[in-house]
């Protein structure tokens, strides 16, 4: 897929490359054409709102038909543009897990937390996130079904990466929009990486959510980072293994009383070794670290390990 393309994956299902940080294949948004308007799954960050609308137009669709915005969770790279889009399209609604909804309505705590991580890079990375009006939010949870005309999406509660994470199952197409719970896999690489940012990584729960995806037996996973995965079983098995590998690695390194940057460097080195062992170019390391930076991975894993031992 060429940089910035918007493509049809199947009848009525399109994927848009949001060109995060000017690069291809980092953040995808998905568009579903229904008899009750357009459904967008994942918005990307606030500064990607215009690119999302351009992509809808590239698919030959009218952005004015946007009616429904569903996000897997509230992290800025998945839901940051929701408020801006709702301002522009007054007939649209947001669908988000009940734990995450208050932070979309009042994002001040979310933005404060992110600001501690990104500092003065916040605006350049993500843009300015706008609050979502309470009356335009539909909260969702495990077992809910969203019906938009001829489309039905079943909601799976899939925490582990985040406590407010859901996945959306399109049973008719046999696909799951899996957000971050099914990991990061940047084309053309076949390696699956666990995004482990703070604050609420939970490895045991994450494995349970991976099992939940596996038990649905989908034909395809649609990753936000990035795109379709057809070898579903192998991909999820690999993610399970690497999640445990990172947990064991970081736990072992902590016993060496290393400084944070040393932990980050060792995790990055381990990732490069895995790429080389798999016969893949380490060029993809830059793309992987753009969507799941090794520093954030260390911060999330060390926080998780500290809570597990307390």
Structure token pair of residue 88 = 């522009």
Separation CA 41–CA 32 (nearest Å): 8
Q: Are 239 and 194 in contact (CB under 8 A)?
A: yes
**Residue 88 CB contacts under 8 Å (≥ 6 apart), including other chains:** 49
Q: Which CATH architecture has domain 6-238?
A: 4-Layer Sandwich (3.60)
Give the pLDDT of residue 115: 75
Give the C-alpha separation, 286 to 152, whole Å.
37
Residue that the structure tokens 């992987």 belong to: 288
Q: Is residue 2 classed as helix, strand or coil in its secondary structure?
A: coil
Cα→Cα distances 143→36, 116, 147, 167, Å: 22, 35, 13, 11
| β pairing state of 37-41 and 220-223 | unpaired
- State the pLDDT at residue 4: 53
Per-residue pLDDT reduced to its tens digit, 233-248: 999 999 999 999 999 9
Report the C-alpha gap between 152 and 217 in whole angstroms: 17
What pLDDT digit, counting tens, does each position of 10-39 carry? Answer: 999 999 999 998 889 999 999 999 999 999
Q: What was the pLDDT predicted at 310?
A: 59
pLDDT of residue 2: 46
pLDDT at residue 3 in the model:
43
Is the N-terminal amide bond of 188 cis, ω within 30° of 0? yes
pLDDT at 110: 84
Q: Are 306 and 204 in contact (CB under 8 A)?
A: no
pLDDT in tens, 77-113: 999 999 999 999 999 999 999 999 999 999 888 887 7
**Cα–Cα distance for residue pair 29/226, rounded to 1 Å:** 9
- What are the counts of helices (DSSP H) followed by strands (DSSP E) for the chain? 11, 13
List Cβ neighbours of 303 (8 Å cut-off, separation of 6 or more): 198, 199, 201
Using 70 as the pLDDT threshold, list the residues of the chain that sit under it: 1-4, 309-310
CA distances from 170 to 119, 125, 227 (A): 38, 31, 16
Tokens 């170019």 correspond to 281
What tokens were used for 308?
Answer: 């597990």
- Partners of 39 in the beta sheet? 32, 68
296 φ/ψ angles, rounded to the nearest 5 degrees: -65, -35
Helices 232-254 and 294-309: crossing angle in degrees, nearest 10, is 70
Q: How far apart are the first and last CA of the chain?
A: 46
Beta carbons of 52 and 81 less than 8 angstroms apart? yes
CB distance 176 to 167 below 8 Å: yes
Residue reference for tokens 């980072």: 225
């Amino acid at each position: 897929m060429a940089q910035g393309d918007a493509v049809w994956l199947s009848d009525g299902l399109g994927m848009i490359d949001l060109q995060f940080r000017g690069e291809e294949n980092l953040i995808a948004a998905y568009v579903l054409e229904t008899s009750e308007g357009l459904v967008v799954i994942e918005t990307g960050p606030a500064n990607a709102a215009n690119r999302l609308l351009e992509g809808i137009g590239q698919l030959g669709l009218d952005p004015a038909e946007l009616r429904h915005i569903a996000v897997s969770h509230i992290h800025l790279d998945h839901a940051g543009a929701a408020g801006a889009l709702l301002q522009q399209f007054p007939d649209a609604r947001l669908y988000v897990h009940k734990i995450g909804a208050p932070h979309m309505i009042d994002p001040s705590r979310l933005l404060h937390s992110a600001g501690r991580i990104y500092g003065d890079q916040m605006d350049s990375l993500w843009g300015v996130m706008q609050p979502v009006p309470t009356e335009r939010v539909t909260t969702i949870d495990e077992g809910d079904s969203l019906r938009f005309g001829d489309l039905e999406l079943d909601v799976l509660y899939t925490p582990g990466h985040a406590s407010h994470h859901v996945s959306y199952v399109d049973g008719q197409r046999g696909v799951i929009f899996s957000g971050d719970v099914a990991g990061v896999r940047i084309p053309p690489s076949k390696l699956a990486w666990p995004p482990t940012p703070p604050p609420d990584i939970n490895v045991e729960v994450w494995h349970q959510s991976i099992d939940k995806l596996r038990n649905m037996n989908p034909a395809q996973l649609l990753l936000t980072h990035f795109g379709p995965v057809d070898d579903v079983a192998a991909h999820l098995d690999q993610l399970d293994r690497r999640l445990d590998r990172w947990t064991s690695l970081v736990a072992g390194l902590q016993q060496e009383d290393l400084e944070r940057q040393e932990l980050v460097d060792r995790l990055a080195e381990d990732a490069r070794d895995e790429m080389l062992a798999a016969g893949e170019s380490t060029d993809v390391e830059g793309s992987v670290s753009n969507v799941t930076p090794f520093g954030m991975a260390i911060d999330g894993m060390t926080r998780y390990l500290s809570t597990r031992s307390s």
